[in-house]
Each structure stands twice: as structure tokens, then as C-alpha cells.
Chain A
Amino acid sequence: MMAVSKSRRIDRIDGRTVLFLTLCACLVTFLTTSFLGHGIFTLWICLILCWFGLFRQAIGCFSIYMVALVWLLIEMKYKISVPSPLLLSMVYKLLLPAMPAYLLAKIPSGKLTASLRRMPISTHIMLVLIVMLRFAPTVLHEFGEVREAMKIRGFLKSVGNVLRHPMDTLEYAIVPMVFRSLKIADELAASAIVRGIESPYKKESYYVSRIAVLDCVLIVVSVGAAVCCCLL
């Protein structure tokens, strides 16, 4: 029952709204000059993730965010440089846009395509972006598999071994990754062609794509929060 409710909430939101939230998060990360403003907007995005039922991910992201931020503040105060403040800064700054991007990846691809089709973007660029979004978790999974295979075959037995033969290690990691990714890409292409993606006629979707009250509320509150956080 709970699962049904969660999926319904994600199904109720339009892809363009989540894309807009991602854009807002990126702008806040880029424009905000105070840690407080950045933190407040991150909390807002966390609440949105929780509302969509993604509690574990929201709490995990916010915990990492807080650890990175607090550590960075300590480093800045006491002039410590381990771990690198730039790295901590990158972690806390990237987590904010990563959270709505994760929500974007959770939207069914058919619904996302239907939503983005209403935007003035070239179909090819749109398809590349959607496929990239869908492909990212797959690539991470595949990378893990390749790493396991390399470990089993002894290619990653020691750091010294990797440093002595960096080109060989790169080759052993990249070649299977490319083969596996191309195989998945071909399967995705075949699936999309069977569903008529190359048809020249106007496409309709199973999903209704419209900006509803929920979308308007999220957009308005997020814009207000983004402006306030940037001014803080």
C-alpha cells in the first residue's frame, strides 16, 4: 500500500518540474555565497525527496552534506588541509543538484520523454540527455562488475601493480566497459525502435503530461526559496 502511494506521488509530478528543480538547485549552488542559504535549499530538496518516499536517499545525502560542510568549516577555521577543502567543497556543492537529478532519474522514462517532448529542445539532444540519465546507474553497475572481474583475475592485486602497468590496467578496465555498454545501447535502441521512436508521425504517450497544481506549488515555492537563499 505504501509502495503504491510512493509510486503514485512520483507519477503525479511532471518531468519538466523536476528538471526545473534541478536547474534551481544548480543555480543556488552556483550563485549562493553563504553556507546558510545553501544549507536551507538543500534541506528543502531533502524534504521534497522525503515527500516522494525517498527517505533513505534523502537522509543519506543530507548526512554526507552535513559532514562535508561541517568538516569544511572546521578546516577553514583551524587552517587544516586534510582532506583537501576543495574536495569537501566539491562534495557539498555537487550533492545539492545531485538530489533532484536522482528524482529525475526515478521518473519513468516514458513519462520523462513525454514531458521533455513539450520543451523546445532538439529531439536528438533530448534523447541523448534522457539516455544519459538512464544510462548513468547502469554504467556505475557495469563498472562495479568489471572491477570485480579484474580483482578475481588479479589485475588489481596491489596499488604497485596498477602503478607499474597503468596503461594495461586502463585497457583491461575500459575495453570490457565499452563492450558491455555498447551491447546495452544496442538493446535499448532495438527496444525503442520496436516502440516506434523512429516513426515520423506525432507521438502520443501513455502518460498525461501537464503542469498540475502540485507542480505549480513546487515551482513557486522552489523559486521563492532559491531567491531567498541566494540573497542570504
Chain B
Amino acid sequence: MEQTVKKKFGIRDIMTIAAMMVINFAIAMIIGMVTLPFPVVYLYGSAGIDAFIGAIFYLVAANRVNKHGLLFAWAAVYGVIQGVMGYMFLIPYFLIVALVAELCMVGKNTYQSAVRNRIGWMVNSIGNFVGCAVPLWWSWDSYQEMAANSGFDANTLNMQLSMVTSPALMLLGVVITAVLAILGTLFGQRLLRKHFQKAGIVG
């Protein structure tokens, strides 16, 4: 069996990662737009739904590239995109998430191990969910002003505030995200076996 190698990324690996990430982000944006009118789903479920669908693209990239640093690059690029979109203070946060997620993948052949991929992806997804709360923790007052100018109604704002200030509700969101991330990796593994491994495009 091929082992997870410590070699640098080749151009084919970079293209594979970029292709999978683009589809993932495009779908995440659609999910964001669809769930936005339903505040409860948007707050507690959108990160989980992203994790569920994104798991398929991550698993294809992981099994195809099979090199350390992939999950770090995935989370770091996500952080850079958030930074370019104005949330500069999220870049260090996502670099930490990227580092923690990558640490979950330490070892040989981990990017082709279903269990390790499940753990790594779950950590990354939980990081994304908690990342939604960081702007609110960072500066609630300015966020409130910005939200009021953006058409957020009082109910949505209260719901957001109670979510980020209540550990129990944050935990609920984390559990929802983790469960959906795990289900996503199970579904992704099924697709890998059924289609991609048979076609010989992943290891």
C-alpha cells in the first residue's frame, strides 16, 4: 500500500486541491444563501451541511494527493479567503485550526485512512463552526451595529447572542457539526469505493 509521503506538493496535487476547494466553496456559498432565510438552520446547521457535502471533495483530494499538509492548506486557504473578505482577525484563528487539524493527520498513510480522515475533517469542520462565532466574540457592539444596518431583525440577533454566550448552545452546534461531518465522511467513503477507486483516480 502506498504511504503518506513527506514530499512537497507537485503541480498536479495543487491543481487537484484547488479544483476540489473551488467546488467546495461554491457549494458552501449556495448552502449559505439557501439557509440564510432560516436563522436557526443558518446558525446551527450551515457549517454542518458544508461539512457533510465538503467531506466528499476533501476525501477525493486526500486520497488522491496523499501528502501531509493537505488539511493544513485546505483550512489555511479558507482562512485567507475569510481574511480577504474583510475578516482579517480570522486568519490567525484559521491557521491554528489548520495546525490542529493537520496534527490529527500525523503518521504514515493517514490521508488514505478512513478513520483518520474522519477525525481530521471533523476537527476542521468544528473549527469552521466556532469560527462563525469569533467575529461576535471579537466585537459584539460593532457587530450589532453592522447587523442592524444589514437588515438583521432583533430575533436573529438575540438568537446569535444566546448561541455565542451560552456554552450549552455552542456545544449543541459543535455536536451537530461533528455528527454531520462524520456522516459526510461515511457517505464520501462510500462514493470513493463505488466510483472513484473503481475508476482508478484515487489510491
Contact = CB atoms under 8 A, between A and B. Distances in A.
Interface string B31-59: 01100110100100000000001001100
Contacts of B10: 189, 198
A129 B87 CA distance: 17
B15 A124 contact: no
Nearest to B64: A182
B191 interface: yes
Contact of A97 (B37, B39, B53, B85): B85
A57 interface: no
Interface in A63-106: 72, 75-76, 81, 83-90, 93, 97
Contacts of A185: 12, 15-16, 18-19
A170 B22 CA distance: 17
A40 B201 CA distance: 49
A85 B153 CA distance: 8
A37 to B, nearest CB: 10
Interface residues of A, number: 55
A71 to B, nearest CB: 10
A198 B11 contact: yes
Contacts of A35: 149
B1 interface: no
Specify the main secondary structure of chain B where it touches its partner: helix
Nearest to B8: A124
Contacts of B84: 22-23, 26, 97
Nearest to B60: A178
A216 interface: no
B134 to A, nearest CB: 14
Interface residues of B, number: 50
A75 B151 contact: yes
B77 interface: yes
24 contacts: A72-B151, A81-B153, A83-B37, A85-B153, A86-B36, A86-B39, A89-B152, A90-B32, A90-B33, A127-B14, A128-B21, A131-B19, A132-B18, A135-B19, A139-B19, A143-B26, A167-B187, A170-B53, A178-B196, A179-B199, A182-B60, A182-B64, A184-B19, A192-B15
Contact of A182 (B16, B32, B33, B146): B16
Interface in A124-166: 124-125, 127-129, 131-132, 135-136, 139-140, 143
B73 interface: yes
Interface string A177-188: 111011011101
Contact of B85 (A30, A135, A139, A192): A30
A85 B53 CA distance: 26
B20 A30 contact: no
| Residue of B16, B36, B191 most packed against chain A (CB within 10 A) | B36
A27 B15 CA distance: 29
A175 interface: yes
